[in-house]
Amino acid sequence: MTTAPTIELNNGIAMPLIGLGTYPLDDRQVAETVVVATAVGYRLIDTAAKYGNESGVGDGIRACGVPRGELFVTTKLDGGYQGADRAIPGLDASLGRLRMDCVDLLLIHWPLPWRGLYVDTWATFEKILASGKARAIGVSNFLPAHLEILAARSGIVPAVNQIELNPAVARVAVRAYDDDHGIVTQSWSPLGRGDLLTDPAVTTIADRLGRSPGQVVLRWHVQHGLSAIPKSANPSRLAENIAVFDLELTARRGRGQELGDRGSLSSGGCSGPVRLPGRTLQGRGSSGPLGAPIEWTPLGARINLPGADNRRGRGTGEALVNQLSRAGEDDPRRHRGCRAGVRGWLAGFGWARVSVRAGVSRGRACRACRDGRRSDPRGCRCRSAGSMRPRSGSAR
């Protein structure tokens, strides 16, 4: 049995480097998976109110035979629990489903900045921390702009920022900010969305080391000081994913560490630079360099991309992305309805690729999407003549 080493959070609590992601398992599946995972060494279990499987996580923890004090349990509260101290009854409901007195880590699931409630929600999280119902508090899917606002208006630095992160989606700027401010970066979807494990850069290293591609990618996270929560319900894959502490990705002469980040994998590659305040990232695209400056604010980014006149809906032209985390809970990268979803696509997070089909700029936003009241715009049917079709799947 392999047990993951721990990393110390900024409040002194130890968190395992590798844990079990539980989305999208249901209660029955997750209960069985938790039992198997703890038997092969997992001690970090990640869930969320939105996943609908907290009861199953609790069942699995009680059935696994591992003392509660040896486990690290994370849950997250989504947009329905933001503002007006809603997180307090929200956590109480989660604790009831988990059948626990406290969680080890409580996260704000998405910032949802257009609602303007995440700072108020963080103040509620500080109360929860003081009450002892959470041993540590943090955030998920936050950008540096959101974290800067928290820092200016609150007294506690988040212990963790959980974001989508892997060698193909390296999030260099977010990681750098987290490191500079004592925040542990935790990776969800650490193995990518399928094609990463068949990438020649990964498989070549895996063949040389005699390990699986998944182990190579997870070792990349470990060597970058990242915590990762891969998801699997397969017993052999669960054991494989945690057995990454006895291998090493070595340096290549003149080229840095094997499997470097910022799009160094052969699939997708890199295009031109995207500039953020004080940093330069490498954007990813399939049609040549973007070569475009990006101006960031806490609520948006302005990107000037080459292309036709976007006012006529004929190309990518000038794009205004005015709500950075609109890709948050809803992920408008797959939203095929209103213009609000298209404009809200997260062009940041270290990447910049805008693909707009004819007529998108003329599409109408339904009121629910425009006001941020729709819980899942992927099901939106509001009127639009076009859609945005990204290369990758939806955010979790």
Section 58-68 average pLDDT: 97
Residue 233 structural domain: 6-249
Tens digit of each residue's pLDDT (9 = 90 or more) over 90-119: 999 999 999 999 999 999 999 999 999 999
Which CATH number do you get for residue 127?
3.20.20.100
Paired tokens of 27: 């209660």
Q: Measure the CA–CA gap between 129 and 145, rounded to whole angstroms.
A: 23
The total of structural domains in the chain comes to: 2
* pLDDT given at position 146: 96
Contact between 19 and 226 (Cβ < 8 Å): no
* pLDDT given at position 195: 81
Shared-domain flag, residues 238 and 284: no
- 81 assigned to active site: no
Confidence of residue 167 (pLDDT cuts 50, 70, 90): very high
Highest mean pLDDT among 95-99, 245-249, 311-315, 376-380: 95-99
Query: Which among 116, 130, 125 has a CA at the least distance from the CA of 90?
Result: 125
* pLDDT given at position 229: 98
How many residues does this entry show for the chain?
Answer: 396
Paired tokens of 229: 């929560």
Section 225-232 average pLDDT: 96
Q: Strand, coil or helix: what is 198?
A: helix
Shared-domain flag, residues 88 and 197: yes
Sign, Cα dihedral of 336, 342, 346, 351: positive
Confidence of residue 1 (pLDDT cuts 50, 70, 90): confident
Tens digit of each residue's pLDDT (9 = 90 or more) over 293-321: 434 334 333 333 333 233 332 222 223 23
The proportion of the chain whose per-residue pLDDT surpasses 70, expressed as a percent, equals: 63
The proportion of the chain whose per-residue pLDDT surpasses 90, expressed as a percent, equals: 61
Shared-domain flag, residues 185 and 280: no
Give Cβ neighbours of residue 216 (< 8 Å, ≥ 6 apart): 202, 205, 206, 209, 249, 259
Shared-domain flag, residues 143 and 200: yes
Q: Measure the CA–CA gap between 132 and 275, rounded to whole angstroms.
A: 41
* pLDDT given at position 122: 98
Sign, Cα dihedral of 276, 282, 285, 291: positive
Shared-domain flag, residues 196 and 306: no
Shared-domain flag, residues 223 and 316: no
- Residue 133 inside a domain? The answer is yes
Q: Is 349 left (phi over 0), alpha (psi -120 to 50) or beta?
A: left
Confidence of residue 235 (pLDDT cuts 50, 70, 90): very high
Confidence of residue 260 (pLDDT cuts 50, 70, 90): low
Cis peptide before 24 (omega within 30 of 0): yes
Q: Which residue would you say has higher pLDDT here, 48 or 279? A: 48
Shared-domain flag, residues 181 and 327: no
Q: Strand, coil or helix: what is 167?
A: coil
Pick from 22-36, 174-188, 376-390: least confident: 376-390
Q: Measure the CA–CA gap between 365 and 347, rounded to whole angstroms.
A: 19
* pLDDT given at position 252: 56
* pLDDT given at position 27: 98
Section 83-93 average pLDDT: 97
286 pLDDT more than 80 = no
Section 147-161 average pLDDT: 96
Cα 292 to Cα 221, 272, 289, 307: the distances in Å are: 29, 7, 8, 12
Shared-domain flag, residues 245 and 284: no
- Residue 123 inside a domain? The answer is yes
Q: Which residue would you say has higher pLDDT here, 125 or 254? A: 125
Query: Which among 390, 394, 371 has a CA at the least distance from the CA of 382?
Result: 371
Q: Strand, coil or helix: what is 118?
A: helix
* pLDDT given at position 153: 95
The widest CA-to-CA distance across the chain, in whole angstroms, is: 63
Cα 26 to Cα 110, 206, 373: the distances in Å are: 21, 32, 26
- Residue 57 inside a domain? The answer is yes
Q: Measure the CA–CA gap between 341 and 334, rounded to whole angstroms.
A: 9
- Residue 202 inside a domain? The answer is yes
DSSP 3-35: ---EEE-TTS-EEESB-EE-TT--HHHHHHHHH
Confidence of residue 256 (pLDDT cuts 50, 70, 90): very low
* pLDDT given at position 257: 52
Shared-domain flag, residues 217 and 166: yes
Shared-domain flag, residues 67 and 140: yes
- Domain closes at, from 186, 216, 249: 249
- Residue 263 inside a domain? The answer is no
Shared-domain flag, residues 142 and 283: no
Alpha helices, DSSP H, located in the chain: 27-39, 54-64, 87-98, 118-131, 144-153, 172-180, 200-209, 213-223, 235-242, 339-343, 367-370
Confidence of residue 75 (pLDDT cuts 50, 70, 90): very high
Q: Three-state secondary structure along 308-366?
A: CCHHHCCCCCEEEECCHHHHCCCCHHHCCCCHHHHHCCCCCCCCCCCCCCCCHHHCCCC
Catalytic residue, chosen from 42, 51, 118, 177, is: 51
- Residue 394 inside a domain? The answer is no
- Residue 260 inside a domain? The answer is no
Shared-domain flag, residues 141 and 224: yes
- Residue 385 inside a domain? The answer is no
Section 190-216 average pLDDT: 92
Confidence of residue 250 (pLDDT cuts 50, 70, 90): confident
- Could you identify the residue written with the tokens 């290549």? 252
Q: Residue 186's beta-bridge partner residues?
A: 162, 227
Q: Residue 295's beta-bridge partner residues?
A: 302
